[in-house]
Amino acid sequence: MKVFENFSDWISFRRGGDLAGQTLGFVPTMGALHEGHIELVRRSKKENQKTAVSIFVNPTQFNDPKDFEKYPKTFEADQAKLREAGVDYLLYPKPEQMYPDAYRYFVDEKEMSTILCGAHRAGHFRGVLTVVMKLLNGVDADHAYFGEKDYQQMKLIQGMSEAFFMKTQIVPCPTVREKDGLAMSSRNARLTPNQREIAPQIYAALKSPKSLAQVRSELERYGFKVEYLEEHWGRRFIAAYLGDVRLIDNVQI
């Protein structure tokens, strides 16, 4: 696995013709890797001749600076997992490389980004779309893989790619879950043992035939603070807090 800690070095490598005639898959991440990320890597390796992964904790998508500070940074462990998974290229850029314009330019979407997570996290999707556009343009992959746990994010990225005639095909991948149904997430590591036992109730409640009001009431009895519980695009979505850990999930109706 070749590691690029300077994004401009990767761009020079990509344009140098070393990958000419080979398909490239791309998995963008913020690190703290788990089995869900590795499943995206497996999908990329199955469908492409080469696979690149990025690890970049993007400061512009955190509406709460404390959340950014708390985000787990486990580069050495992540690097080992990616080597074991057979990743060809790892990109590990710094913020000043990704934002050489000192945050002057951003990508905005004005409809889908205003609901669900967008209604509760000011500027979140602006930050996501901006950094993903930068990564997609720089990596220049044939396919990029995104998990459906962040379904709204995936749909926004798909729409951006289509709106700007971008080369990379966005590939949705099913949510990877723990045996008890909890959607895999880097945030799960912050749950206390007691919270971890309660957390799978989110998935169980989403799958139930009960009304949204009934589901909300049931989760509140377990101690969740529900931020939103809504239905869009034939799916049921939730964001809820257990203590100070924000969990999201969605299921097809």
Please identify every residue annotated as catalytic: 37
The rounded distance, in Å, linking the Cα atoms of 218 and 225 is 11
Best CA proximity match to 53, nearest among 80, 104, 92 = 92
Strands 89-91 and 2-4: parallel
- ∠ at Cα 154 (242, 162), nearest 5°? 160
Here the tokens at position 96 are 């000043």
Residue 6 sits at φ, ψ, to 5 deg, of: -125, 120
161 strand-pairing partners? none
H/E stretch holding 243 reads: none
Here the tokens at position 21 are 């005639």
